[in-house]
Amino acid sequence: MIKQTTHLLLLIGFLSSCESQQQEVENPIAIDNPTNEVLLSSEIVWEKLNPARGDQSPQAGTIWGDRKGVNERSTATGFLAKFVDGFSSPPHIHNVTYRAVVIEGMVHNDDPNAESMWMEPGSFWTQPLGESHITSAKGEQIIALVEIDKGPYLVRPTTEAFDSGERPVNIEASNVVWLDNESTNWIDAKSDAQMSFLLKSKIDDLKSLFVQLPKGYIGAIETYGTVLHSVVIKGELNYQLPKNKETKVLDVGSYFGSTEKAIHTISNSAESETIIYIRTNGSIKVR
């Protein structure tokens, strides 16, 4: 009940934020120098997430940013984490808070003494820094998208645990609240797309949300922020690059983004709905 209430409160806050930006997204935008970029899942380079665990370590594939924090000006990072069936970590903490989405398989992430609560694909959760927890996984293939605001992403022993004041958010896929064009002006009145607002930062206005595109969808997502990171969570997209009009096929785990206002021309090429996870500091419009 607490988790569901938290999601409803987040949703109410988001709706208020969306309506305040209605004028901003009323009209299509023109782009002179598009910053659109794409990374296919097949282009992701995998390495050990926690080398200290040797062969027991999950694999990590960075999509954007600097997960290791090598760069002193390290920025927000998104990476895919791949687990083997039956994986279960020892109790540990992290030096940074992370947000995550289950893409394939099932994941359990909770207090070390909690009963297993398996999250299915399309589930969203956060893990506050300093909080002791375990992560387990099961399935033929288990992949999750993980985001941090700044690298490095490190594992620490529970002897260093502390209460940062943050509290976790867990939204199982079946509890996601979908909004249509009658509930949010971020979806065009003629579009059958749906949207779910997941989380909003109090500091930098960055938002996490899902966009669900129906079978046969052909259209575009207009984005108005200086940060836009998007990952295909379910299904498949055809994405048209604006400069050369080349079409890329984005399967699960593939990425598209931009650093200025942009038009992302896409179509759903899957046999059912396609779901995209978006992290942005601006508003969007699904046409």
Cβ proximity of 214 and 273 under 8 Å: yes
- Sequence-ordered alpha helix ranges (H) in the chain: 2-20
Give the CATH number for residue 179: 2.60.120.10
Residues 164 and 223 in one domain: no
pLDDT in the model for residue 197: 97
Q: What is the pLDDT of residues 206-264, one digit of tens each?
A: 999 999 999 999 999 999 999 999 999 999 999 999 999 999 999 999 999 999 999 99
Cβ proximity of 167 and 110 under 8 Å: no
Residues 180 and 166 in one domain: no
pLDDT in the model for residue 50: 79
Owning domain of residue 151:
44-173
Helix (H) / strand (E) element for 248: namely strand 247-250
Q: Grade residue 14 by pLDDT with cuts at 50, 70 and 90.
A: low
**Pairing state between β 93-94 and 77-83:** unpaired
Cβ proximity of 104 and 151 under 8 Å: no
Distance of CA 27 to CAs 23, 64, 148, Å?
8, 30, 33
Choose the weakest-confidence range: 4-18, 193-207, 210-224. 4-18
Residues 110 and 160 in one domain: yes
- pTM of the complete model: 0.88
Residues 179 and 275 in one domain: yes
Q: Grade residue 151 by pLDDT with cuts at 50, 70 and 90.
A: confident
Residues 159 and 180 in one domain: no
Please state the three-class secondary structure of 124-172 as a single string: EEEECCCCCEEEEEEEEEEEEEEEECCCCCCEECHHHCCCCCCCCCEEC
